[in-house]
C-alpha cells in the first residue's frame, strides 16, 4: 500500500500543528493556491509504521552482505552519524557569522589536509556534492587551464572504453568531444591505440587506477608521460581509492586532478542513492582553478587561529561555486569523523584488508570453477564472467544475480564494465569477515549447480522478496510516475 | 584496526588460500618507484570516545540562540519521527535501487515522493532529486535548451530577483556549453519584476527563469510573466519554495498554460540547515518533457505474477546507459534527503504545511510592525512571504556583528551583492519564532543601530 492509501479525509497529525490564531489569508487572491496539495492525511503512527515497513523491504549494508563492485559498500560507523548530527552542527545556518562556524570549519580544514596527504595532491576543495560533480569540477578545471593559456584548439577528452558512464557524460557537459581508448586483453590501456589517438586536440585523459576492471594499471607512468608530453592533463577518477590508501598516491602517479567519492572510501552512507560528496585535489598548476569555497586557517599575532572561507575574491580564476553553499557539508563531517577514527595506520589497513578480502574471494571462486576475467591479481575488486552458464544453460548474469537475492546476498554489480560478457564486478570491502565471504562463495556454488540442474529455478528468481522479477519494459512503455488514486491497486 | 574483523588466524588462512606469504605481496603490481613512503601528515587513529570529545566540543562552540537568516536555507521545525525513521539502517546504508526487487522500500518511497512533489508544484511528473536548488536550476536550464527546439539561441532570461547564488552556480555549470544567462532587472521600489518593462525585450530566449517568492521574499506577478514568456516562444522555469507552495499558486497553474519546468531547494521539507548541505534539489515538469529530464525516475510496474512493484525507469536518458549522450552526468543524487522530505510531508499533510506557511507569514508581519515602531522600514512595497529586506541607518555588517555577540544571527547583508541596496538586511521569520523572541530580536537590532548612530 502507498501512504496515500492509508489516508482519511480530515485526519490531521495535531502534534505538528501549533495552536495559533488563524491568520487571514495574506496572499493576494490571484497569487493564491486554490486547491490543497494532494498529500497524505495520516496519523503519526500510521506514517511511522508505513515507512518502517517500507524500510524493511530494502537490502542494506546493515542487514545484508552487499558486494557491489565499484561501489565500496563498507560498514558506515554509527558514530559518524551521531556526531555529525549534534545540534551545533545541524542547526548551523550556512550564512552564519564566521565566529559561529569555527568548530565546523576546523573539521573542514583538517579534512582538506587529510585528503591532500592521502592523495598526494597539494590542494583540495571539498565543494563538489557527488562523484559526478567532482568529475565535472576536474574537467572544468582542465578546460580553464587550457583556456587561460589560450590553448583553445584542445577539444577532445580521452576515456578508456571500460570507464564509468559518468566520465564521457561529464566530458560532454564541459563542452568536450569524447574519444574512447580500447583496453588490451590484460586489462591495461592499449598504449599503441593511446598514442594513435593523441594529437594537438587532446585536452586530457580520464583514468581510474585501479581500473574498473579491478586491476592496477602498471603502465601509469608511461601514460602520464605520453599525455603530458602532448600538452594534455590527467584526470583521476577516485571511485576506486579504497585499494590504494597509503600504498600509492595519485599525485605520485602523475595525475593533475583527482576526485574522491567519500561515500565509498570514507564510508559516508549511500542513503539509497545519495547524498555523496566528491572533493577534488589538484596539482600546483591547477590550483588557481579549484572550485570554491575553500577553508583557510589564519594565525594571529597572539598565536590563536581563526578559520576563514575563501571564494572567487581570493581565487579569481576559480571555476566558481558548484552549490549554493559549502557542498554536502554534513557528509563531509561524517567523512572527517571516519578519517579521525581510522588515522594513518587505519587507512593503510583499509587498503590491505580490502585487497586481502578481494583476492581471497577471487581465489575461492576460481577454485570453485568460476571464470575470473583478469586473474593476475585482484585489487579491491575483481570480475568473473558467467558466459559459460549463459551459453550452455541459458542462465545469464542477471538471472544469477536475482537468485543471489534469494540466498540473502545483495548481487554484485552486473554487466559492468560493458566489455566483459555476462560479468559480475565483485567488491567485498575490508569490513566483511572471512565467514561472510565464505558464505557468499557457497551461495555462488549452489547457484551454479542449480543453473546446471534446474535452469528455470534460477531464471525465474527471486522468490523470497516482496516482489518477483519486475517488468521493466512495461515500466518504460506505460509510464506511471505518480499516483492518481486509480492507477495503483 | 577499526571496523576490520579479521583475526590473525583468518589472515593466515586467507593468505594460504591465495598462495602468498604476506599481505604486502598482494600489492606487487604497483611499481616500486610509485609506492607511497608514508602518510605521516595524517594524525594517528583515535577511539570513538576520543573523537566524540573533539566533535562535541566543536559542535558546542558553534551553538547559537536565534537565527533570522534565510536567503535560500530556512529554519523550520523538524518532527522527531523524520530522522528517527530516515536513519534506520535499511534506508541509511542501502545503495541506489538498481536491484529493484531488493529495493522496494526506497523505490516505493521515491514514487510517493514524486507524487507529492508533482502535486505541490502542480506539474505532471517529477524526478527522484538533484543535488541542491542551485545545481538543480542549472540542470533545468540545460533541460530547457534541449527541450525548446523552436529557439536556436543559447540564451536564457533570468529575473534579477532570482537568488544570486543560484545565478552564479548556473553560470558556472552551463557556460562550458556556450549557454548564457541575461538578466531582467528588478524594480527597485517593488522588489520584483516590473511587468511594464517586458515589451522592451526583443531578443530570442530559450526560457525565462522566475523565482516565487523571489530572493527578497517578494511575490512576482507570475501569471503575466508566464503568459508573456510563452507568447514569445520561451519556456518558463519556476524556482519555488515547497513550503510556500501550500498557499501560493503552483507553477503548473501560472498563466494560461502553466510553467514548463519547476525546480527548487527541498531543504525546508525536514532537512536541517547543516552548514548548507546535504540538501536536495527537486524538479518537476510537464509530461511532454519527461524524456529530457535529468536524473533518476521511478515508475510503477508489475512483477511476474501481476503484483504492483516499483523500478527505476527511462534509464536510457542516463549516463550509465547513454554515456556521452546522456541528459546529464548525474549519478548519485540526494536519496536520503528525499526519504526525510517524504516522511516530513506525510507527517504534516496539506493542513500542516499550510499552517507552517501561514504562521511564518504572520510572524514576518509581526516583525515588520515591531520594526516600524522603531522607525525601521522595509526596502520594498510589494507583497511578501516570510522574508523581507529592511533599510538600516547603518551598515548591515555592523548590525550582524553586534547581534552575533548576543548569539543571534541577524540576517544576510545584501550590500555586497547589490550595490544599489546599501545598508540593507535580508531577514526571515519562520514558524519557529515566538512573539517574545521576535520582540527580543527587534530590541537588539534597534540597539545595534543606535550604537552606530550615537
Residues B72 and B117 in one domain: no
Say how far residue B27 (Cα) sits from the centre of its chain. 43
- Contact with chain B for residue A275, Cβ under 8 A: yes
CATH code for the domain in which residue A202 is found = 3.40.640.10
User: How confident is the prediction for chain B on average, in pLDDT?
Assistant: 96
Neighbour tally for B112: CB within 10 Å? 26
Place of cell 574498473: A212
Give the pLDDT of residue A14: 87
3-state secondary structure B287-314: HHHHHHCCCCCEEEEEECCCCEEEEECC
Mean pLDDT of A436-465: 98
Over residues A243-263, the mean pLDDT reads: 95
Mean pLDDT of B211-215: 98
**A275 has pLDDT over 60:** yes
pLDDT of residue B454: 45
Asked whether residue B319 falls in the same domain as residue B371, the answer is: no
**Among A175, A341, A434, whose Cβ lies nearest the Cβ of B177?**
A175
State the DSSP code for B44: B
Looking up residue B393, the CATH number of its domain turns out to be 3.90.1150.10
Minimum distance, in Å, between the CA of residue A161 and any CA atom of chain B: 11
CA distance B222 to A358: 58
Residue A377 · residue A216 · CB < 8 Å: yes
H-only helix segments in B62-163: 80-86, 89-92, 104-121, 133-147
Residue A419 covered by a domain: yes
CA distance A354 to B264: 40
The enclosing H or E element of A259 equals: strand A257-260
Separation between Cα atoms, residue A178 and residue A166, nearest integer Å: 12
Q: Using CB atoms, which residue from B71, B92, B279 is nearest to A95?
A: B71
Q: Do both A433 and A304 map to the same domain?
A: no
Same domain assignment for residues A141 and A185: yes
Tell me, yes or no, whether A379 and A268 share the same domain: no
CB contact under 8 A, B44 and A62: no
DSSP conformation class of A470: B
Q: Domain check: are A235 and A383 in the same one?
A: no
The answer, yes or no, to whether the previous bond of B172 is cis (omega within 30 of 0) is: no
> Do both B353 and B271 map to the same domain?
no
Among B294, B314, B343, give the residue marking a domain's end: B343
Mean pLDDT of B33-56: 97
Is the pLDDT score of A22 beyond 70?
no
Is any Cβ of chain A less than 8 angstroms from the Cβ of B25? no
Q: Is pLDDT above 50 for A64? A: yes
pLDDT value of residue B1: 58
**Looking at the structure, do residues B95 and B188 belong to the same domain, yes or no?**
yes
Q: Over the Cα atoms of chain B, what is R_g?
A: 26
Phi and psi angles of residue A237, each rounded to the nearest 5 degrees, phi first: -80, 110
Element (H, E) at B211: strand B207-212
Asked if B325 and B353 sit in the same domain, the reply is: no
Q: Is the pLDDT of residue B434 over 90?
A: yes
Q: Residue A20 has what pLDDT?
A: 67
Which pLDDT tens digit goes with each residue over B169-185?
999 999 999 999 999 99
Query: Do A361 and A309 belong together in one domain?
Result: no
Please say which residue of A309, A340, A371 terminates a domain.
A340
pLDDT band (50, 70, 90) for residue B319: confident
CB A253 within 8 A of CB A283: no
From CA A401, how far away is CA A404, in angstroms rounded?
Answer: 5
Residue of B60, B90, B335 lying closest to A88 (CB–CB): B60
Nearest partner of A52 among B89, B52, B426, judged by Cα:
B89
Q: Which of A340, A359, A386 is the last residue of a domain?
A: A340
Strand order in the sheet with A423-426: A371-372, A382-385, A423-426, A413-414
**Same domain, yes or no: A36 and A114:** no
Q: Are residues B272 and B418 in the same domain?
A: no
Number of domains in chain A: 3
Asked whether residue B24 is domain-assigned, the answer is: no
| The three cell numbers locating residue B150 | 523552436
Q: What CATH number does residue B141 fall under?
A: 3.40.640.10
Name the strand (E) or helix (H) holding A383: strand A382-385
Quote the cell numbers at residue A213. Answer: 576492471
From the list A54, A170, A376, the residue facing B109 with the nearest CB is: A54
Instruction: Please report the pLDDT score of residue A25 as a whole number.
Output: 74
Grid cell in block for residue B100:
529493484
Domain termination site, one of B343, B360, B395:
B343
CB B307 within 8 A of CB B68: no
B165 chain-A contacts, CB cut-off 8 A: 321, 324-325
Let me know whether A175 and A272 are in one domain.
yes
Residues of A in contact with B350 (CB under 8 A): 36-39, 41
Q: Given a cut of 70, is residue B322 above it in pLDDT?
A: yes
Residue B119 in domain? yes
* Last residue in a domain, options A291, A306, A340: A340
CATH number reported for the structural domain that contains residue A467 in this entry: 3.90.1150.10
Q: For the beta carbon of residue A485, count every other beta carbon within 10 angstroms.
A: 10
pLDDT value for A21 = 60
Nearest-neighbour CA in chain A from B438: distance (Å): 16
Burial class (CB in 10 A: 0-12, 13-18, 19+), A354: buried
Give the range among A273-282, B317-326, B396-405 with minimum mean pLDDT: B317-326
- Same domain for A198 and A312, yes or no, is yes
Q: How far is A36 from chain B (nearest CA, A)?
A: 6
Res. B294: pLDDT tops 50 = yes
Distances (CA, A) of A359 to A174, A355, A416, A420, B36: 38, 6, 19, 19, 21
Distance in angstroms (rounded) separating the CA atoms of residues A310 and A201: 34
Selected residue with higher pLDDT from A179 and B326: A179
The per-residue pLDDT for range A181-219, each reduced to its tens digit, is 999 888 889 999 999 999 999 999 999 888 888 889 889
Split at pLDDT 50, 70, 90, the class of B268 is: very high
Cβ–Cβ gap B278/A466 under 8 Å: no
In a domain, A486, yes or no: no
Instruction: Count structural domains, chain B.
Output: 2
Residue-number span of the structural domain to which A385 is assigned: 350-473
First to last CA, chain B: 62
Q: Give whole-number Cα distances, B262 to A69, A306, A325, B73, in Å.
A: 36, 41, 21, 18
A113 and A40 in one domain?
no
Same domain as B170, residue B305: yes
Q: In this predicted model, what pLDDT tens digit does every residue of A294-348 receive, in sequence order?
A: 999 999 999 999 999 999 999 999 999 999 999 999 999 999 999 999 999 999 9
Give domain status of residue A481, yes or no: no
Together in a domain, B418 and B305: no
Same structural domain, B151 and B172: yes
Which residue in chain B has the smallest CA separation from A85? B274
d(CA B105, CA B338): 13
Domain assignment of residue B15, yes or no: no
Element (H, E) at B11: helix B8-18
Q: How many CB atoms lie within 10 A of CB B135?
A: 27
Task: Grade residue A24 by pLDDT with cuts at 50, 70 and 90.
Answer: low
Residues A434 and A334 in one domain: no
User: Domain boundary at B321, B343, B365, which?
Assistant: B343
Q: What is the pLDDT of residue A238?
A: 86
Is residue A74 in a domain?
no
Q: Over 70: is that where the pLDDT of B453 sits?
A: no
Domain that holds residue B409: 66-76+349-453
Query: What is chain A's mean pLDDT, rounded?
Result: 95
CA A378 – CA B29 distance, rounded (Å): 10
Q: Are residues B309 and B293 in the same domain?
A: yes
A71-121 pLDDT, tens digit each: 999 999 999 999 999 999 999 999 999 999 999 999 999 999 999 999 999
**Paired strand residues for A88:** none
For range A435-461, the mean pLDDT: 98
Within a domain: B7: no
Q: Tell me how far apart the alpha carbons of residues A124 and B3 are, in angstroms, rounded to a whole number.
A: 27
Do A9 and A115 belong together in one domain?
A: no
DSSP state for residue A183 in the 8-state scheme: B
Is the separation of the CB atoms in B11 and A356 below 8 Å?
yes
Residue A253 lies in a domain: yes
Cβ count within 10 A of residue A152: 10
The residues in B 95-114 lying below 8 A from A, measured between CB atoms, are 95-97, 99-106, 108-109, 111-112, 114
Please indicate, yes or no, whether residues A114 and A29 belong to a single structural domain of this protein: no
| Predicted local distance difference test score (pLDDT) of residue B320 | 86
Do B305 and B399 belong to one domain? no
Q: In what order do the strands lie in the sheet with A280-282?
A: A123-125, A280-282, A257-260, A233-238, A202-207, A156-160, A177-181
Give pLDDT, residue B405.
96
B310 in the same domain as B216: yes
How big is the CA angle at A276 (ends A274 and A279), to the nearest 5 degrees?
A: 165
Quote the distance between the C-alpha of residue B61 and its chain's center: 26
Amino acid at each position: 500500500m502507498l501512504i496515500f492509501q492509508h489516508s482519511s479525509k480530515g485526519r490531521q497529525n495535531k502534534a505538528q500543528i501549533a495552536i495559533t490564531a488563524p491568520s487571514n489569508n495574506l496572499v493576494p487572491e490571484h497569487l493564491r493556491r486554490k486547491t490543497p496539495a494532494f498529500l497524505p492525511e495520516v496519523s503519526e503512527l500510521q506514517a511511522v509504521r508505513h515507512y518502517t515497513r517500507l524500510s524493511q523491504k530494502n537490502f542494506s549494508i546493515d542487514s545484508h552482505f552487499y558486494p557491489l563492485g565499484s561501489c565500496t559498500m563498507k560498514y558506515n560507523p554509527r558514530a559518524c552519524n551521531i556526531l555529525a548530527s549534534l545540534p551545533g552542527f545541524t542547526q548551523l545556518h550556512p550564512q552564519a557569522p564566521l565566529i559561529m562556524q569555527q568548530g565546523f570549519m576546523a573539521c573542514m580544514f583538517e579534512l582538506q589536509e587529510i585528503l591532500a596527504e592521502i592523495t598526494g595532491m597539494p590542494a583540495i576543495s571539498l565543494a563538489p556534492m557527488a562523484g559526478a560533480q567532482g568529475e565535472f569540477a576536474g574537467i572544468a578545471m582542465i578546460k580553464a587551464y587550457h583556456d587561460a593559456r589560450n590553448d583553445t584548439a584542445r577539444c577532445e577528452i580521452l576515456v578508456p572504453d571500460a570507464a564509468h558512464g559518468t566520465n564521457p557524460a561529464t566530458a560532454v557537459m564541459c563542452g568536450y568531444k569524447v574519444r574512447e581508448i580500447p583496453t588490451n586483453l590484460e586489462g591495461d590501456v592499449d598504449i599503441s591505440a593511446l598514442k594513435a589517438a593523441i594529437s594537438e586536440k587532446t585536452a586530457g585523459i580520464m583514468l581510474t587506477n585501479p581500473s574498473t576492471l579491478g586491476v592496477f594499471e602498471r603502465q601509469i607512468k608511461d601514460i602520464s608521460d605520453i599525455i603530458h608530453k602532448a600538452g594534455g592533463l590527467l584526470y583521476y577518477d577516485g571511485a576506486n581509492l579504497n585499494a590504494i590508501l597509503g600504498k600509492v598516491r595519485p599525485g605520485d602517479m602523475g595525475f593533475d586532478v583527482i576526485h574522491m567519492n567519500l561515500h565509498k572510501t570514507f564510508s559516508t552512507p549511500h542513503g539509497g542513492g545519495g547524498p555523496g560528496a566528491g572533493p577534488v585535489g589538484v596539482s600546483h598548476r591547477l590550483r588557481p582553478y579549484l572550485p570554491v569555497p575553500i577553508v583557510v586557517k589564519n594565525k594571529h599575532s597572539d598565536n590563536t587561529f581563526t578559520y576563514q572561507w575563501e571564494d572567487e575574491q581570493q581565487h579569481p580564476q576559480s571555476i566558481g561555486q558548484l552549490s549554493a553553499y559549502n557542498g554536502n557539508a554534513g557528509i563531509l563531517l561524517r567523512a572527517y569523523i571516519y578519517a579521525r577514527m581510522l588515522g594513518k595506520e587505519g587507512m593503510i589497513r583499509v587498503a590491505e584488508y580490502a585487497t586481502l578480502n578481494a583476492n581471497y574471494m577471487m581465489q575461492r571462486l576460481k577454485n570453485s570453477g568460476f571464470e575470473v576475467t583478469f586473474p593476475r591479481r585482484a585489487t579491491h575488486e575483481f570480475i568473473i564472467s558467467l558466459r559459460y552458464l549463459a551459453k550452455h544453460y541459458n542462465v545469464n548474469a542477471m538471472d544469477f544475480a536475482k537468485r543471489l537475492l534469494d540466498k540473502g546476498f545483495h548481487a554484485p554489480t552486473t554487466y559492468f564494465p560493458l566489455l566483459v560478457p555476462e560479468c559480475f564486478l565483485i567488491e567485498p570491502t575490508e569490513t566483511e569477515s572471512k565467514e561472510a565471504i565464505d558464505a557468499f562463495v557457497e551461495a555462488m556454488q549452489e547457484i551454479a549447480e542449480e543453473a546446471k540442474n534446474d535452469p528455470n529455478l534460477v531464471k525465474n528468481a527471486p522468490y523470497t522478496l516482496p516482489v518477483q522479477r519486475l517488468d521493466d519494459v512495461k515500466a518504460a512503455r506505460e509510464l506511471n510516475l505518480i499516483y492518481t488514486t486509480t492507477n495503483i491497486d | 584496526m577499526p571496523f576490520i574483523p579479521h583475526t590473525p588466524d583468518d589472515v593466515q588462512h586467507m593468505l594460504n588460500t591465495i598462495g602468498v606469504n604476506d599481505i604486502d605481496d598482494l600489492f606487487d603490481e604497483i611499481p616500486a618507484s610509485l609506492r607511497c613512503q608514508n602518510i605521516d601528515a595524517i594524525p594517528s587513529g583515535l577511539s570513538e570516545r576520543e573523537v566524540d570529545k573533539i566533535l562535541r566540543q566543536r559542535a558546542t562552540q558553534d551553538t547559537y540562540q536565534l537565527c533570522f537568516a534565510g536567503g535560500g536555507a530556512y529554519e523550520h521545525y523538524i518532527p522527531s519521527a523524520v530522522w528517527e525513521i530516515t536513519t534506520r539502517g535499511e534506508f541509511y546504508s542501502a545503495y541506489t535501487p538498481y536491484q529493484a526487487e531488493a529495493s522496494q522500500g526506497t523505490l516505493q518511497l521515491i514514487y510517493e515522493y514524486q507524487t507529492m512533489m508533482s502535486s505541490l508544484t502542480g506539474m505532471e511528473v517529477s524526478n527522484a532529486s538533484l543535488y541542491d536548488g542551485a545545481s538543480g536550476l542549472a540542470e533545468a536550464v540545460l533541460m530547457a535548451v534541449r527541450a525548446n527546439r523552436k529557439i536556436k539561441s543559447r540564451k536564457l532570461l533570468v529575473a534579477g530577483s532570482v537568488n544570486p547564488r543560484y545565478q552564479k552556480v548556473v553560470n558556472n555549470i552551463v557556460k562550458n556549453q556556450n549557454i548564457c544567462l541575461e538578466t531582467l532587472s528588478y524594480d527597485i521600489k517593488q522588489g520584483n519584476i516590473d511587468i511594464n518593462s517586458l515589451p522592451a525585450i526583443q531578443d530570442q530566449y530559450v526560457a525565462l527563469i522566475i523565482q516565487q517568492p523571489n530572493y527578497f521574499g517578494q511575490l512576482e506577478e507570475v501569471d503575466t510573466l508566464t503568459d508573456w514568456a510563452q507568447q514569445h516562444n520561451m519556456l518558463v522555469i519556476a524556482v519555488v519554495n515547497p513550503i510556500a507552495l501550500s498557499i501560493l499558486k503552483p507553477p503548473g497553474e501560472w498563466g494560461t498554460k502553466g510553467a514548463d519546468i519547476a525546480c527548487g531547494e527541498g531543504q525546508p521539507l525536514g532537512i536541517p540547515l547543516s552548514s548548507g548541505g546535504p540538501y536536495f534539489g527537486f524538479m518537476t515538469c510537464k509530461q511532454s518533457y519527461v524524456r529530457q529530464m535529468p536524473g533518476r525516475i521511478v515508475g510503477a510496474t508489475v512483477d511476474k505474477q501481476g503484483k504492483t512493484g516499483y523500478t527505476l525507469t527511462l534509464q536510457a536518458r542516463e549516463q550509465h546507459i547513454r554515456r556521452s549522450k546522456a541528459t546529464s552526468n548525474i549519478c548519485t543524487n540526494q536519496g536520503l534527503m528525499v526519504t526525510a522530505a517524504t516522511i516530513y510531508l506525510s507527517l504534516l499533510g496539506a493542513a500542516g504545511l499550510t499552517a507552517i506557511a501561514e504562521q511564518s507569514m504572520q510572524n514576518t508581519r509581526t516583525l515588520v510592525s515591531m520594526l516600524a515602531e522603531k522607525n525601521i522600514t522595509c526596502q520594498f512595497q510589494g507583497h511578501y512571504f516570510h522574508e523581507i529586506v529592511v533599510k538600516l541607518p547603518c551598515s548591515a555588517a555592523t548590525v550582524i556583528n553586534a547581534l552575533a555577540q548576543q548569539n543571534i544571527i541577524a540576517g544576510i547583508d545584501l550590500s555586497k551583492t547589490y550595490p544599489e541596496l546599501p545598508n540593507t538586511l535580508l531577514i526571515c521569520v519562520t514558524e519557529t519564532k515566538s512573539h517574545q523572541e521576535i520582540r527580543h530580536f527587534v530590541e537588539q537590532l534597534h540597539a545595534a543601530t543606535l550604537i552606530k548612530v550615537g
